[in-house]
Every structure is written in C-alpha cells, then in structure tokens.
Amino acid sequence: MEAPGAFPAPTIPAATSARRLLDILERSFHASKAQWLFLRELRVGTGRRNSSAQRLDAFALNCMPHLAMKRICYEVKTSRADYLCELKQPLKRRIGMRYSNEFYFVVPGGMLSIAEVPPECGLIEVGNTTFEEWKVLIKRQAGFFAFDPASGEYSMITVPAPWRDTPGPTWELVAAMLRNQRREFEDRPPQPAAQQKLPFD
C-alpha cells in the first residue's frame, strides 16, 4: 500500500476547516436537493459527551425509494493526530455505524494511506489541485470522483465503504433530523428583499 506523500501533495491549506471539506463534499456528492438530504452537525443518540448528545459531522439520506433510501455517515478529520486518536476509540463511531449503510472518513487529500483505514469504513479525500496534478491524483481513486477545473477543488472515493444492511431510522433519529433542519432554517440569514422598479410618469 502506498504511504502518504507517494502522490503529489495537495495544495489545500493545512488549516483547512471541516466546514470547507464538507462544502466541497456536498457539492460533489449531494448537490441534488431533490435526491439527497444532507445534514451537518447532526446531534443524535442517548450517549452523552460533555453534556451534549453524540454528534455526526454529516449525514446524507437518499430520498429515492428505488435507491433503497441509502444512508451515509461522514466523519471529518483535518489532521493525522485527530484521526489516529479516533482510531483508538471505535465506540465513538457506534452511533454513525448504527444509522448508516456506509461510513466514510473525509480527510484532506494525501493525509492518509489506504492501510490506515479500518475495514468497516471508507475514505474520501478532498482538496485543491491543478489539472496536471489531478491527472496523477486520480490514480488513487477507487470509486466516484469529482473535479472542478474552475476552482481546482476535488473529492474522490479512495476506499469504498462496505455496504451494511442496518435497521431503518428510529424516531430518535427522525427527531434529530427535524431539529437539525429547523436549526438550519433559523440560522440561515434572510433573503434580501426583492427590488422592484418604480414607474416614472
């Protein structure tokens, strides 16, 4: 298996925020609002950490019955230290694994090697690169990939997550999703007022 750095280093800043990684991920994998419900910072579960419900970085629900209403959980890691700490605490993934059919770690491109990914999880790499570098980076992909030439942003499945048949959502999860959506609407800034042309006599 290749080690980190075996491919061109991404130009994505080291301090890339989890929010930016999720922005790129959503545009690449879940842009269709009619097909996907994409929830961030989803607090769910009875487990408590620091007096708050356990949190999923992102949770995607496919709204199409013919696609089995696929559920994907995403855990974002922006540093190797954070990722390695996560591996030592597999119970932290229990809620995400329970509610999803596929579980992915989302990391800046080139941060991990394939050998470092647990067998029950998948890996998605996200970053910025040039088109020439992208032609080399794409050799790492093992599934869906996306590249935007205008911005240089890319995301790709480096390790496909295994499919798991899990029980359907509980009322607890449904309530958490509704709370998440309500919070998003309440926090969203209001749309600017529509401007109208005034008639002149």
Q: Which two tokens stand for residue 17?
A: 């925020």
Who contacts 10 (Cβ-Cβ below 8 Å, separation ≥6)? 108, 109, 110, 127, 128, 129, 133, 137
Q: Whole-angstrom Cα distance, residue 186 to residue 176?
A: 15
Which 3 state secondary structure label does DSSP give 23?
Answer: helix
Q: Which helix (H) or strand (E) holds 53?
A: strand 52-62
Global pTM value: 0.79
State the Cα angle at 170 between 167 and 175, rounded to 5°.
150
Average pLDDT value for residue range 47-69? 75
Q: Who contacts 8 (Cβ-Cβ below 8 Å, separation ≥6)?
A: 110, 129, 133, 136, 137
Mean pLDDT, to the nearest integer, of 177-196?
Answer: 65
Amino acid at 53: A
d(CA 131, CA 8): 12
pLDDT value, residue 17: 87
> What pLDDT sits at residue 108?
93
Note the pLDDT tens digit of each residue in 5-36.
444 444 444 446 889 999 999 999 999 988 99
Mean pLDDT of the chain: 82
For the cut 60, the answer to whether the pLDDT of residue 195 exceeds it is no
When mean pLDDT is compared across 52-56, 59-63, 74-78, 113-117, the lowest value belongs to 52-56
The predicted pLDDT at position 5 comes to: 47
